Amino acid sequence: MHSQAPDRNLGLDLVRVTEAAALASARWLGRGDRNAGDKAAVDAMRLSFTTVDIDGVVVIGEGEKDKAPMLYNGEVIGTGRGPSMDVAVDPVEGTRLLAYGRPNAISVVAMAPRGAMYNPGPAFYMKKLAVSKEATNAVDLDAPTGDNLEKIARALGKDVDDLVVFVLDKPRHQGLIREIREVGARIQLHTDGDVAGALMAVLPDTSVDVMMGTGGTPEGVLAAAAIKVVGGEMLGRLDPQSSDERNALRAAGYDLRRVLTVDDLVAGDDVFFVATGISGGDFLAGVHFTGTGAVTHSLVMRGKTGTVRKVEAHHSFDRLMQISAIDYD
Return binding residues for substrate: 93-95, 125, 170-172, 192-194, 216
Q: Please give the single-letter amino acid code of residue 131.
A: V
Beta carbons of 126 and 136 less than 8 angstroms apart: no
How many residues belong to the chain?
Answer: 329
Beta carbons of 229 and 266 less than 8 angstroms apart: no
Among candidates 313, 320, 319, which has minimal Cα distance to 288?
313
- Distances in Å between the Cα of 129 and the Cα atoms of 166, 206, 289 are 10, 17, 36
Binding-site annotation: residue ranges: 38, 62, 90, 93-95, 125, 170-172, 192-194, 216, 219
Q: Please give the single-letter amino acid code of residue 173.
A: H
Beta pairing class for 164-168 and 106-113: unpaired
- CB half-sphere exposure, 209, CA atoms < 13 A: 26
Binding-site annotation: residue ranges for Mn(2+): 38, 62, 90, 93, 219
Among candidates 327, 307, 315, 317, which has minimal Cα distance to 10?
307
How does DSSP classify residue 266? B
3-class DSSP assignment, residue 156: helix
Start-to-end CA span in the chain (Å): 27
Beta carbons of 209 and 164 less than 8 angstroms apart: yes
d(CA 279, CA 103): 5
- Distances in Å between the Cα of 96 and the Cα atoms of 68, 78, 118, 304 are 12, 29, 26, 34
Q: Please give the single-letter amino acid code of residue 121.
A: G
